[in-house]
Structure 1
Amino acid sequence: MRPQPAPPGHPARLWEGLLLWVAWVLLALASVVFAVRLATGATTFEPWRALTALTLVGASAALIYWGHTCPTMRGEQPRPNAVGYFFTLLVLGSSLVLLDDSFVVFLITGFFHAHILASWRAGLFGIFVTSFVINGIPLLGRPTISTQDVAFAGMIILVQTAAIGAGLVITLQAVKAEEKRDELVARLQAALDENAGLHAQLVVQAREAGVHDERGRLAREIHDTIAQGLAGVITQLHAAQGARDPQDSTARVESALLLAKSSLDEARRSVKALQPRELGHAQLPEALRTLAATWQETNGVPVHVEITGEPVTLSPALDVSLFRVSQEALTNVAKHAQASRVALTLSYGDQDVLLDIRDDGRGMHGPTNGFGLTSMRQRVRGIGGDLAIESELGEGTAISASVPVLTATAEVAS
């Protein structure tokens, strides 16, 4: 993955900006100094000199634009023909210096643009050549060159090469390390985004699987109760029609009525089970408080309800599942626990919602795989969550359900 461009003010951006504009600034500065010297008579005005300088300045500007500025703005690394560009730049700069010493400022560009060469060793050599040209050309204009002059110039060349080269190497390494860090951060962010997308997708798939399981459960329940009851009603009515004894016919009709009433009760119970009435006009926290208050009044056992975190509007599937888990857990407490107090805690987190129901009852011993507990596990797993049960004899029971946050808005969007 290609890293995103560094933000303004980033060290890499400052370094790139310096390398991009330093040649233009130095060329313009040298040209202005040369023009001022011509205008003030500090240097002899000769038409051929001015025309040659203008031509070389134009050639240098064209070289910088096509050889450095354009490739840099296109992000080409390494730049094409870097060696040819660099040494052509030195030749043009040297020619300008031979015309007038003012242009020695422009030759400093070589120290900055040596970084475009193939490696840091080549860049170090480019710095050495630049320093050699800057310090060697002034010697050519002297009538005589002493050994001391050569030694002094050589010392300056070595010091410049060592100092600027070390700075170049350190700077390039720092920029390279910064680019690697930015690339790593970009990859990590992409991985986090991808994982978040996969997590949301898994939650949706788990919810759809839960819906499918719930439909299957309802189908089995309808088949085993209502459908069989109606079949029995039909059988009894057919028998009543064919009965010759009035008492037998009346008995058959009464039996059919009893089956019909039983089937109607089963139908009402199934419809009621689809959506708890407590959730009809309230959010989950209020529904749990209502459930706890009703249970406490019925069973005479105090229930402490605590809501932590910032409540959010969850998907109806999550609300119903968590409510049913609470309902089943409290039912089990009433039937088996012989508890003196119960605590119900609903905790909202950034990624998960946690539901804890704890009692101080007699606890359980052995496997916790009764029908009610198995139903709770299946219900929670159907929405992508997890259910944990902890219980010891005499230590009470703790049921903890953890489900991923899926809001109603996210469910509609999916």
Structure 2
Amino acid sequence: MTAADTQIERRWEQLHSLGPYGLLVTGAVLSAIAADMMDGVGEWYAAAVLVAAAFALQLWWNRTRHRRANRGRSPSRAGTAYYVVRWAIAFALTWINPLFGFYAATGLMDADELIPGMWRRLGLFVTAVTLAGSQMGGLPPKNGGQWAAFAGLLVANFGLQTVVAHLTEQEERRSLDPAATIAELERANTALQQALDENAALHAQLLVQAREAGVADERRRLAAEIHDTIAQGLTGIIAQLQVVANAPDLPTARTHLDRASALARHSLGEARRSVHNLAPVALANDPLPEALKGTVADWAERADIRAEFTVTGTAEQLHDEVSATLLRIAQEALSNASRHARATRVGVTLSFLGDEVILDIRDDGQGFDPLTVPERTRTGGFGLDGMRVRAERIAGSFTVESEPGHGTAVSARVPLVRHE
């Protein structure tokens, strides 16, 4: 509130506090001057008592109004009672002497602050009755002409008061709208700030959780990479050296030593590449179909198992992550076939089907009961669970079909994401 608004508010407060006194004194003085308008000593005493009552009523209301100042200017029961009693005193004084109509005019000053809702119009009407009687020359009307004059004055007073009250209410609504808008904006800003603070805290929490999840995922991925590269390479080297230890002649031993040496060099390359970016060496220069073809051929030579690789559909250049995932799944499946399946024949098929890529690996080995896989994976290693995690990491799926004595078929189905 500005200084000008404060000054206006103070003046309105003075008008409502001192105005009734001034109008009451004005009416009393004029009535005393026009003493011939009051009949007898009885009316003088009655007027004096009523004037004293009006002063006492105003003193009481000013004290009550001061105590209620912090509640604003909203209508109350006390205010309505004050308005009714004041009007009754003004009506009685005007009946005694019409010049007390000045005091009756106080009903126009504060009806909006004292009377609630539609009752305000009733307050203005009874005030108009008192004013019309005063303007006509006194109550009650004596003849038909005075009644007609009284009715005309009543309509004129009440109509004018109603129009003024309506315009005042509209002006108050217009003045309250900006204040209500500002208050609403302040509440909205407070709520927005609270939401921003909550979002900031939630964002920080999500960052911590994402960081922890990323670290855990990267650890699992690195463990799988080591398992699929270095561990498998070392397993192959050990197998070749075991053959060398039991070789019947030197040429056979040299052959397996050469295979072990090649496998060691390959594993070393995989280890170096894993340290660099965890990408398979086979994909360094070749797309996935060629990398899979070379991987299957190398595995078949080392394991001495017949293996065939087939590509169906139109081959496309895949995203590095998709290619690396499918190659790792193929390497793990082939490793399982050589270590556990006792297979004599393996088929690997890479299918490009519109918006997805499917990798199928089938063998004619001894098979197993898929329900026992959890028990087997608890003994160590990654195996089928590792392949499933790899596929699901890139929004794919992994299935296993096997039966004891009837071989095994695994299938990885992943989205076809093209190379950027």
* Bigger relative contact order, structure 1 or 2 (CA pairs below 8 A, ≥6 apart): 1
Larger Rg: 2
If the length of structure 2 is used for normalisation, what is the TM-score? 0.42
